[in-house]
Structure 1
Amino acid sequence: MAFEPFIHFMRGLQGKISSNGMGGMQGQNSHHIAFLRQLQKELNLETQMKVPLHELNVVVFDIETTGFFPDKGDEIISIGAVKVTNGNINKEDIFYSLAHCEKDLSKELVHLTGITNDQLKTAPPLSEVLVNFFNFAKNNTLIAHHANHEKSFLQNACWKLYRSPFKHRIVDTSFLYRIAEPDLRLVSLEEICEHNGIPIKDRHHALGDAKLTAELWCKYIAKVQAIGCNTLTDVYERLARL
């Protein structure tokens, strides 16, 4: 089933079911689960491994969270993403959403992200946000900076909300700069962007950080291809030798 018709079908059913209280919530989640299972059938992870990096269609994304430990109750509060097609950033093809959170953020986190508690109280539920994000990403490879953070939260959320495993491949930008510049000891997104002459804009905003990471991805696919690392298969094989 195609993605867009499925989303419209699912939303129509949600409207019919939502009046049934808890039963409505269970019905809504059942359609989310059906969507994710359909999406997972469309994933072709092995094919993605063989596509030249500059031709690989990817979705570069970032999340903002209340902390670092999803298994201890920390939550996703926003997701931002941008598509990169044939090595070019599609600045208009973007995704951004806040996600509902009942817990009050600390003053420090409000200051860091610019997200307010009032905004989160009226934001859509994470179950809906993730379905919309996955519909945006479809079967494209996901890219993130220090991707373990994103992966752990998405794995936790997919299982908690849908009882479904998270099956997308996430490629960490560090894979590329470890190959291209093995002596590089920079860690933060700011440091690596500055190292590559990328202006820092909208830091600690999920979409802003996704755009910065997309700039890094484009820089480093050129660098690793220049030394003969042309596909994700090459990337993983080269990493194994480091």
Structure 2
Amino acid sequence: MTFDPFFFMKGIQGRIGSSQSGQSQQQVAYLRQLQREMRVEETLHIPLTELNVIIFDIETTGFYPDKGDQIISIGAIEVKGDVINEKETFYSLVRTEKMLSEEISQLTGLTDQQLQNAPQLSEVLFQFFQFAQDYTLVAHHANHEKIFLQHALWKQFRSPFKHRLVDMSLLYRIAEPNVKLITLEECCEHCGIPIVGRHHALYDAMLTAQLWSTYVKKLHEKGCETLKDLYELFTNG
């Protein structure tokens, strides 16, 4: 399966050529309105088998955005309960200000030319949050994604990151506490999920979505029905 390196989303087309200043004002207004309308606490009580989530992954040039590392791609897919909606996906490269290291280029398969022709980070973030709406976000080892989104949203829009973000590793720690899993590869191999396209943001999001679906079912069998149940089991464990 191959993907165009830019947008796959709910009929939303990128507006790369429009006025940057006017668009920025619209983007800030949209994000602030989205944050005002979010009902983060309500998601704690929705059964995991019914919870709408956006499972995503970002590829970056390193680990420290405050030291100049940058987002170079974002991929995401919608999941309703334990059902993966493969028609609802998002993927975009992100324009960067400096050349990729050879290590990152080899790891991700991305080139400087691809990134130089990609949309600006502000545009990609705006499109991503239009896609994600107020859904709960999920990522594998989510602290990496959280740090970069917090930094990027504040730098681009002077906006905080307010979405609920669930770390996928929390689910398998609760569902299988005696199984030691760390990497995405280890988790997929343990669950019999074929590993395809590692370190491509959309492929990694799709792998994580399969893990989410698997562990939502396992947690349901253990009587863990909601995020509230999940957090309480983790805290008391």
TM-score normalised by the chain length of structure 2? 0.91
Identity of aligned residues (%): 58
- Structure 2 CA distance for aligned equivalents of residues 214 and 161 of structure 1: 28
- Output one character per residue of 1:157-197: Cα deviation in whole Å (capped at 9) or x when no partner: 00011001010011011111111111222210001100010
CA root-mean-square deviation: 1.8
2:64 equivalent in structure 1: 69
Q: Does structure 2 retain, via aligned residues, the 8 Å contact 1:102–1:120? A: no
1:116 equivalent in structure 2: 111
Q: Do the aligned partners of residues 11 and 209 (structure 1) sit closer, same or farther apart at CA in structure 2, a change above 3 Å counting?
A: closer
**Paired amino acid for 1:231:** T
Q: Does structure 1 retain, via aligned residues, the 8 Å contact 2:95–2:118? A: yes
1:32 equivalent in structure 2: 27
User: Is 1:225 aligned with 2:220?
Assistant: yes
TM-score normalised by the chain length of structure 1? 0.90
Q: Does structure 1 retain, via aligned residues, the 8 Å contact 2:81–2:213? A: no
Cα shift at 1:11: 5.6
Cα shift at 1:227: 0.9
- Structure 1 CA distance for aligned equivalents of residues 129 and 112 of structure 2: 25
- Structure 1 CA distance for aligned equivalents of residues 226 and 81 of structure 2: 13
- Structure 2 CA distance for aligned equivalents of residues 68 and 94 of structure 1: 25
**Paired amino acid for 1:37:** R
User: Is 1:241 aligned with 2:222?
Assistant: no
- Structure 1 CA distance for aligned equivalents of residues 181 and 100 of structure 2: 29
SS at match of 2:234: helix
Among 87, 93, 116, the alignment partner of 1:92 is 87
**Paired amino acid for 1:135:** Q
Cα shift at 1:126: 0.5
1:54 equivalent in structure 2: 49
Gaps of 5+ in 2: 1-9
- Structure 1 CA distance for aligned equivalents of residues 93 and 179 of structure 2: 34
Q: Does structure 1 retain, via aligned residues, the 8 Å contact 2:82–2:214? A: no
| Deviates most, 178-187 or 95-104 | 178-187
1:135 equivalent in structure 2: 130
- Output one character per residue of 1:7-66: Cα deviation in whole Å (capped at 9) or x when no partner: 89x969x83xx3xxxxx54x4322221110011122111111111101001100000000
- Structure 1 CA distance for aligned equivalents of residues 147 and 100 of structure 2: 20
- Structure 2 CA distance for aligned equivalents of residues 203 and 177 of structure 1: 20
- Structure 1 CA distance for aligned equivalents of residues 151 and 25 of structure 2: 18
Q: Structure 1 residue runs of 4+, over 6 Å off?
A: none
1:21 equivalent in structure 2: none
1:147 equivalent in structure 2: 142
- Structure 2 CA distance for aligned equivalents of residues 111 and 164 of structure 1: 33
Point out the structure with max Rg over C-alpha.
1
